[in-house]
């Protein structure tokens, strides 16, 4: 991800926060039935990673593991290792930026 892409993802995450279309943390993501995209920090524990990836696989939810520093730069929150996006349009836009 280039710096420009990170700024754009930060903007989309900001929209998700303001519209309450974001979930923070593994437990909240796993409890949700409406998660469209999951972004995971490489700094997450192995057990949490396995748990969230199994959930994503069972629900066919796209998930991406990204560098811990980039994850923090995007979210600007410490102690959060996973985030879920509930809005399909924001999820698609973020996914495009991560995969490019």
**CA–CA distance, 68 with 35 (Å, rounded to integer):** 21
User: How do the domains of the chain map onto residue ranges?
Assistant: 3-99
What would the pLDDT profile of 1-49 be if each residue is shown by its tens digit? 666 689 999 999 999 999 999 999 999 999 999 999 999 999 999 999 9
The candidate with the shortest Cα–Cα distance to 48, out of 34, 27, 33, is 27
**Is CATH 3.30.1330.30 the classification given to domain 3-99?**
yes
Q: How far is CA 38 from CA 67, 93, 99, in A?
A: 14, 13, 13
Q: Are 85 and 21 in contact, with CB atoms under 8 Å apart?
A: yes
Rounded to two decimals, the pTM is 0.93
CA end-to-end span of the chain: 7
């Amino acid at each position: 991800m280039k710096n420009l892409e990170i700024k754009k993802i930060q903007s989309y995450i900001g929209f998700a926060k303001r519209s309450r279309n974001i979930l923070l943390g593994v437990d909240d993501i796993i409890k949700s039935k409406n998660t469209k995209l999951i972004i995971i920090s490489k700094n997450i524990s192995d057990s949490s990673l396995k748990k969230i990836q199994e959930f994503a696989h069972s629900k066919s939810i796209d998930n991406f593991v990204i560098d811990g520093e980039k994850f923090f730069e995007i979210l600007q929150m410490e102690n959060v290792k996973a985030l879920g996006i509930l809005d399909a349009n924001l999820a698609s836009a973020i996914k495009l930026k991560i995969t490019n």
